[in-house]
Every structure is written in C-alpha cells, then in structure tokens.
C-alpha cells in the first residue's frame, strides 16, 4: 500500500491510486508520504473515529506528512 495516495486534508486512503483529487472531500492535496492506517466501518460507534473526526466509513492514514 505504500504506493497509494492519501489526502492531506481528511487522511482518507484513496482507492484509485491514479486519482488527482480526494474521492471523499475533493481536495487536490494528495501525498504518498504517510504511515499506518485504520479501517473504520461504523464511525458513529467508534472512539477512534471520534478522535480522528471521521464521519464516513473507509480507510484512513494515521500519520500524513
């Protein structure tokens, strides 16, 4: 997964590595410089999602540079 892009704004891991914009928030600020990720399936029940301010299910990077 190291060659996948992550949005610097919402930290969402992009499913399409060739995308120019974030599929979740529309930001064009994508990076390959990230580490670790978490899969959130039920954000309304997740303490981690609350801490990360995530409201949609998906894969999110833990550290984005």
Q: Which segments are annotated as binding site?
A: 7, 10, 22, 25
**60 forms bridges with which residues in the sheet?**
12, 38
Cα 1 to its chain centre, rounded Å, is: 13
Binding site feature residues for Zn(2+): 7, 10, 22, 25
Torsion over CA: 40, 41, 44, 45 (sign): negative
């Amino acid at each position: 997964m190291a060659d996948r892009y992550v949005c610097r704004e919402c930290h969402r891991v992009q499913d399409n590595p060739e995308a120019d914009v974030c599929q979740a928030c529309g930001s064009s600020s994508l990076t390959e410089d990230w580490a670790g990720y978490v899969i959130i399936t039920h954000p309304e029940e997740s303490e981690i999602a609350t801490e990360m301010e995530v409201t949609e299910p998906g894969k999110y990077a833990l550290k984005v540079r």
